[in-house]
Amino acid sequence: MLWKNWGLTVRFQSAPHSTLWLAFLVVLFYLCPAHGSCAKQPADSEVAYGPLPAQKLILCRPQTTGSRSPGVLLLHGGGWIAGTAAGLKIWCDLFARHGFVAATVDYRLAGDKAHWPAQREDAELALQWLRAHSDEIGLDGNHICAYGESAGGHIALGLGGPEDKLACIVDAFGPTDLTALTGPAYQRSFVALVGEEDATWQQRLRAASPLFNLKPGFPPVLIVHGESDELIPPEQSTALMDALRRQKTPVMAIMYRGGHSWSHVSALDSASIMNHIILFMKTATER
């Protein structure tokens, strides 16, 4: 059982080119599980979850009938200032094929009219929309996970409070301590996220950092991070894992040989990692 392995860090080594044919078979397996759903495309639609133009989501539903399905809320990356829900559509479809009601979410991009916590508030509003419409979309509203990549991982970690009632969080290479990320590479995004630099700059960055805002009752977390990530150093995830362990939150980590946002990751490794993520979410939503 996965639950016996809390605290485990799994490391994936890059696959040699000679194994790419095997990668194809592995990818085919996780896209087409044994119950034969590969022949059925997930039903999907774009809906508004709030009154603002940015507050839309793409809903991907499994081809199942009868019992309600667990859910997963997907949050895209882009440094809080770019990206769209469509960027995670491939994962939305994948999770739906594996029996989840999946929703990939557009949120207000950071800027003058949408400083933090606007992005987290949008994710919370999308979560509320899913639960309010659980009957019509076949969702088990008591068993929803959040999955986020990069900035989306940061937002997903902001949903860990008891009021959000998540079953789990998957944080893929998300920043956790904004105060430790310095230099011009982060300046534009941080100014958009928390506003212009002034005497309260560090305080505002700290308030927007998941590492300093962990709450009791935080849901189980799976951290996924590249060992050679030069944009969001893996030490960001290591610090988060240590903090979660200290407060007795169940946590696991997958460290892969590659960079930010799945760069330099083989097809075989990406398939294996996604299989682990799906297993983690299935286990968490069955509790």
| 3-state DSSP assignment of residue 206 | helix
CB 152 within 8 A of CB 216: no
The 10s digit of each residue's pLDDT in 159-174 is 999 999 999 999 999 9
CATH architecture of 2-285: 3-Layer(aba) Sandwich (3.40)
pTM (predicted TM-score): 0.88
Cα 51 to Cα 126: distance, rounded to the nearest angstrom: 11
The structure tokens 């995004």 sit at 189
Burial of 232 (0-12, 13-18, 19+ CB in 10 A): buried
**Which is higher by pLDDT, 64 or 26?**
64
- In angstroms, rounded to a whole number, what is the distance separating the alpha carbons of residues 162 and 127? 13
Using CA atoms, how far residue 145 sits from 35, 41, 130, in Å, is: 23, 22, 12
Q: List the structure tokens of 157.
A: 């970690």
* One-letter identity of residue 128: Q
Q: What is the pLDDT of residues 70-82, one digit of tens each?
A: 999 999 999 999 9
| pLDDT surpassing 60 at residue 182 | yes
Amino acid at 203: Q
